[in-house]
Structure 1
Amino acid sequence: MAIPYGLVAHNYMSITLSNLKPAPGSRTRVKRLGRGNASGKGTYSGKGIKGQRARSGGRKGLKLLGLKRIFQRVPKHRGFKSIHPKPAQVNLGWLEARFPAGAVISPQTLKAAGLVRNIRNGVKILGDGSLTKTLAIHGCLVSQSAKEKIEKAGGRVESR
Structure 2
Amino acid sequence: MRLEDAKPKAGSKRRKKRKGRGIAAGQGASCGFGMRGQKSRSGSGTRPGFEGGQMPLYRRIPKLKHFPIVNQKDYTVINVRGLADLAANSDVTLTSLMEAGIITTDDGPLKILGDGELSTALNVKAAAFTRSAREKIEAAGGSCEIV
Q: TM-score scaled to structure 2, two decimals?
A: 0.53
Q: Distance in 2 between matches of 1:151 and 1:126?
A: 14
Aligned length: 91
Amino acid of the structure 1 residue aligned with 2:11: I
Gaps of 5+ in 2: 14-69
1:39 aligns with 2:27: no
> Which residue in the other structure is 1:106 paired with?
93
Q: Distance in 2 between matches of 1:128 and 1:147?
A: 11
Cα distance, 1:134–1:50 mapped onto 2, change above 3 Å = same
> Which residue in the other structure is 1:26 paired with?
none
Q: Secondary structure at the match of 1:138?
A: strand
Q: 1:96 aligns with which of 74, 84, 87?
A: 84
Q: Distance in 2 between matches of 1:125 and 1:117?
A: 15
CA RMSD of aligned residues (A): 2.7
> Which residue in the other structure is 2:130 paired with?
143
Amino acid of the structure 1 residue aligned with 2:4: S
Deviations 1:36-77 (A, max 9, x none): x962224x2xx54228xxxxxxxxxxxxxxxxxxxxxxxxxx
> Which residue in the other structure is 1:117 paired with?
104
Q: 1:86 aligns with which of 74, 78, 89?
A: 74
Q: Percent identity?
A: 28
Cα distance, 1:129–1:135 mapped onto 2, change above 3 Å = same
> Which residue in the other structure is 2:41 paired with?
none
> Which residue in the other structure is 1:17 paired with?
none
Cα distance, 1:140–1:85 mapped onto 2, change above 3 Å = closer
Q: TM-score scaled to structure 1, two decimals?
A: 0.49
Gaps of 5+ in 1: 1-36, 52-81
Deviation above 6 Å: which 4+ runs of structure 1?
A: none
Of structures 1 and 2, the larger Rg is shown by: 2
- CA drift of 1:121 comes to 0.9
Deviations 1:96-133 (A, max 9, x none): 12x01111100001101111122251221110111111
